[in-house]
Amino acid sequence: MMNGILCVDKPQGYTSFDVIARLRGILKMRRLGHAGTLDPMATGVLPVFVGYATKACGILPNEDKIYTAGFRLGQISDTQDVTGRILETHDFSHILDREQIQAVCPEGEIMQIPPMYSAVSVNGKRLYELAREGKEIARQARPVTIIRMQCEEYHPESGEGVLLVHCGKGTYVRTLIHDMGQALGCGAVMTSLKRTMASGFVIDHALTLEQIQEFAGKNMLDSVLLPVEKAFDTLPRILLSPQQTIHYRNGVKLGLSQLNSQLQENQKRYAVCGMPDGFLGTAVTDSENDCLRIERNLCEPRGAES
């Protein structure tokens, strides 16, 4: 069984689940998961976890994303992008340069109301399902982090431009653009979206589905499958002895006193490597119980097929 991460360049028109379905056919296996859902309109980096690596989904230490987003001033749509129904049009001639747009770009932690056309669940129903029924309900604002929102281009004749957005988990870029348009007094819709980084994986390393199909046809998928530990590069590492490695694999907590020389002040979470196995998974320090507690065992079980 294959075990690792495929960095996919998602094509436009595909849902993230469509990508998984296509890869199940290419890889001839069902155990696949992904990090960071992309709307069908969006393209770019979609990390896909293969085999035992799927256990890493949901515990990634770096969930930042970077996007290049196109926008158009003067319009408001029900989906907050150009795929939706245009509800209002407004004059944007008072917006003359990038500086005016940059002045309303937020930074830091903000409160964001998720759009109706989103996968957020309310009372057991997805918001987009309600939106398709013509319903709109009150949504609770949620905190999201904007590390950087930069206006890279703006063309006052057309009202179109490009934003670079570096943000944390759960941020809706089209809502950032919608809110930007509201702040400018003319409305705005998203015209394109490309994710260039997700959880540390960058577009330069991403493969199209066609390229993955080609590698599969040549039995060369191992050459492009990234090791699962790459997703945990930002965590400090602890190296276990052979005996400690056996304990970790068997789910046994390790005493902190055995690892003191490797622990860092104010650091709770670690990537764990063992001898001679290499990367094993993740663990967190539990000072109250004086132990290193296994968070997720990500190593391939002994005797599993390669």
Share of the chain above pLDDT 90, in %: 80
Q: State residue 88's pLDDT score.
A: 97
Q: State residue 109's pLDDT score.
A: 97
Pick the closest to residue 211 from 38, 10, 40, 12 (CA basis). Answer: 10
Q: Chain-wide mean pLDDT for the chain? A: 93
In this structure, the strands spanning 201-202 and 125-126 are: unpaired
Is 39 among the residues known to form the active site? yes
Separation in Å, CA 165 to CA 23, 118, 129, 172, 282: 29, 19, 28, 10, 30
Residues 244 and 274 sit within 8 Å (Cβ to Cβ): yes
Whole-structure pTM value:
0.91
Residues 5 and 225 sit within 8 Å (Cβ to Cβ): yes
pLDDT-derived band at 305 (thresholds 50, 70, 90) equals very low
Q: Strand locations in the chain, DSSP E? A: 4-10, 32-34, 43-50, 65-73, 75-77, 86-89, 108-112, 121-122, 125-126, 142-155, 160-167, 188-198, 201-202, 237-240, 254-255, 269-274, 278-286, 291-297
What are residue 151's DSSP bridge partners? Answer: 163
Whether residue 222 has pLDDT greater than 80 = yes
State the average pLDDT over residues 168-189. Answer: 97
Q: State residue 138's pLDDT score.
A: 80
User: Active site residue: 39, 64, 81, 179, which one?
Assistant: 39
Superfamily covering domain 4-63+200-230: Pseudouridine synthase (3.30.2350.10)
| pLDDT one-digit tens code per residue, 228-271 | 999 999 999 999 999 999 999 998 889 998 898 999 999 999 99
288: how many CB neighbours lie within 10 A of its CB?
A: 6
State the average pLDDT over residues 174-194. Answer: 98
Whether residue 288 has pLDDT greater than 70 = yes
Residues 268 and 214 sit within 8 Å (Cβ to Cβ): no
State the average pLDDT over residues 177-203. Answer: 97
Map tokens 């849902």 to a residue: 15
Q: State residue 302's pLDDT score.
A: 62
Whether residue 304 has pLDDT greater than 70 = no
The residue ranking higher by pLDDT, 155 or 58, is 155
Residues 7 and 36 sit within 8 Å (Cβ to Cβ): no
| pLDDT one-digit tens code per residue, 33-66 | 999 889 999 999 999 999 999 999 989 999 999 9
Q: State residue 97's pLDDT score.
A: 96
The residue ranges of every structural domain in the chain are: 4-63+200-230, 68-192, 235-297
Share of the chain above pLDDT 70, in %: 98
Q: Do domains 68-192 and 235-297 have the same CATH topology?
A: no
Whether residue 130 has pLDDT greater than 70 = yes
State the average pLDDT over residues 126-135. Answer: 80
Superfamily covering domain 68-192: Pseudouridine synthase (3.30.2350.10)
Whether residue 306 has pLDDT greater than 50 = no
Q: State residue 303's pLDDT score.
A: 52
Separation in Å, CA 192 to CA 6, 39, 68, 255, 298: 24, 11, 8, 51, 36
Structure tokens that stand for 117 in this block: 């056309």
The residue ranking higher by pLDDT, 139 or 173, is 173
Residues 69 and 163 sit within 8 Å (Cβ to Cβ): yes
Q: State residue 136's pLDDT score.
A: 81
DSSP conformational letter for 58: T
State the average pLDDT over residues 67-74. Answer: 98
Q: What is the CATH number of domain 235-297?
A: 2.30.130.10
